[in-house]
Amino acid sequence: MNSYSNSYKEAGVDVTAGYKAVELMKQYVARTMTSGVLSGLGGFGGLFELDMTGISKPVLVSGTDGVGTKLKIAFLMDKHDTVGIDCVAMCVNDIICCGAKPQFFLDYIAVGKNYPEKIAKIVSGVAEGCVQSGAALIGGETAEMPGFYPVDEYDLAGFAVGVVDKDKILKPDTQKAGDVMIAIKSSGVHSNGFSLVRKVFTVNESNLARHYSDLGTTLGNVLLTPTKIYVKAVMKLLDSVKVKSISHITGGGFYENIPRSLPDGLSAKIERKAVQVLPIFDLIAQTGNIPERDMFNTFNMGVGMTVVVDKNDADKAISAINSAGEEAYVLGELVEGDYGVVIC
């Protein structure tokens, strides 16, 4: 490509670095291609043809999110090939909450300086997340913004689109007292609450390299563990039982996210001893002297998603989730009342 500008380069933007980054990332993007993709990288828009087989009333479902201050951990560890998984996960895990199947994804990377190899590593993670969720990476944007971001830092955000048959959209108003709430285990902190995490540990390279026996590895490795992508497990679950509602446990923890999937007049009653809290959350609470109520109102505490089914379908639902490679267990039940979430 005969495109360059020395003047723009002197201002801090190297367009040729952008072209190199695109060439380096093509091998990763190729892994995500599905039959619906009609365009390659480089166009002004990503084209995708929906397969309407078995769908009589298609409804598009969209979601967008970023990685947040978890990126600060990646900067300090100079590890950039997993945060893309987080970016995809935060989007696709939202749209599957209404029963939609992800179709395609786009990313946006804003950098202080374009280092093509680093951009390629970031995109390799995005591609891995797309592969895990069955979504095609059909486009994106890399913006070099000198003077806006430090030269060694970047921001990463994404956008996902899925589709669901209108008649199969989950209906939370079908829930009733006595229905069972099932937990699907998380892989760790996922991509929420990192402003508090960084404050608790006064995060720096030395602290991230510290090995904790309770964690079995370094603090940095645990904190940078990618967010679980639950698409395959949820799709398997939807084919196995009637699912009434799904909640993605993100920022705001139990108290903010679970009520979003509950109708008026119903609350979730959760036994504290039923929650399989991961060691990292115990460490955060102990190190920061954080009240348990705040922990459950900030972090996922080891529960990445919750699912509500009829009590007679609970065992079958757990079996379906486990057979898809995730771990599930009974977390609680729905009860009458407008308390949102009761942990007792």
The answer to whether residues 40 and 12 belong to one domain is yes
How would DSSP label each residue in 135-188? -EEEEEEEEE-BTTB-TT-EEEEEEEEEEEEGGGS--GGG--TTPEEEEEE-SS
The answer to whether residues 49 and 136 belong to one domain is yes
The answer to whether residues 19 and 143 belong to one domain is yes
The answer to whether residues 163 and 24 belong to one domain is yes
| Count helices and strands in the chain by DSSP H and E runs | 13, 12
pLDDT tens, residue by residue, 106-156: 999 999 999 999 999 999 999 999 999 999 999 999 999 999 999 999 999
The answer to whether residues 63 and 35 belong to one domain is yes
Cβ pair 31, 84 in contact under 8 A: no
Between CA 104 and CA 91 the distance in angstroms is 11
118 within domain boundaries: yes
1 within domain boundaries: no
pLDDT tens, residue by residue, 179-193: 999 999 999 999 999
Residues in the chain: 344
The answer to whether residues 223 and 237 belong to one domain is yes
Task: Looking at 244-342, list the stretches that DSSP marks H as alpha helix, in order from N- to C-terminal side.
Answer: 253-257, 279-288, 292-296, 314-323
**pLDDT at site 70:** 98
Domain tally for the chain? 2
Final residue belonging to a domain, choices 168, 202, 218: 168
The answer to whether residues 16 and 162 belong to one domain is yes
**pLDDT at site 12:** 78
Q: Which domain holds residue 210?
A: 172-343
Can you read off the two tokens belonging to residue 51? 């397969």
226 within domain boundaries: yes
Q: In this structure, how many other beta carbons lie within 10 angstroms of the beta carbon of residue 63?
A: 22
Query: The whole model's pTM is what?
Result: 0.96
Final residue belonging to a domain, choices 168, 192, 208: 168
The answer to whether residues 152 and 190 belong to one domain is no
315 within domain boundaries: yes
Between CA 211 and CA 220 the distance in angstroms is 9
Can you read off the two tokens belonging to residue 232? 């395959």
CB half-sphere exposure, 184, CA atoms < 13 A: 30
Final residue belonging to a domain, choices 168, 187, 206: 168
Cβ pair 113, 75 in contact under 8 A: no
The answer to whether residues 125 and 220 belong to one domain is no
The answer to whether residues 263 and 285 belong to one domain is yes
297 within domain boundaries: yes
89 within domain boundaries: yes
**pLDDT at site 9:** 73
**pLDDT at site 1:** 59
β-strands 101-111, 136-144 pairing: parallel
Tell me which residue has tokens 């669901």.
164
**pLDDT at site 74:** 98
The answer to whether residues 152 and 191 belong to one domain is no
12 within domain boundaries: yes
Residues of the chain where predicted confidence (pLDDT) is lower than 70: 1-2, 4, 7-8
**pLDDT at site 89:** 98
The answer to whether residues 237 and 130 belong to one domain is no
Question: In the predicted model, what is the mean pLDDT of the chain?
Answer: 95
How would you class 180 by CB atoms within 10 Å of its CB: exposed for 0-12, middle for 13-18, buried for 19 or more?
Answer: buried
The CATH number of the domain holding residue 15 is 3.30.1330.10
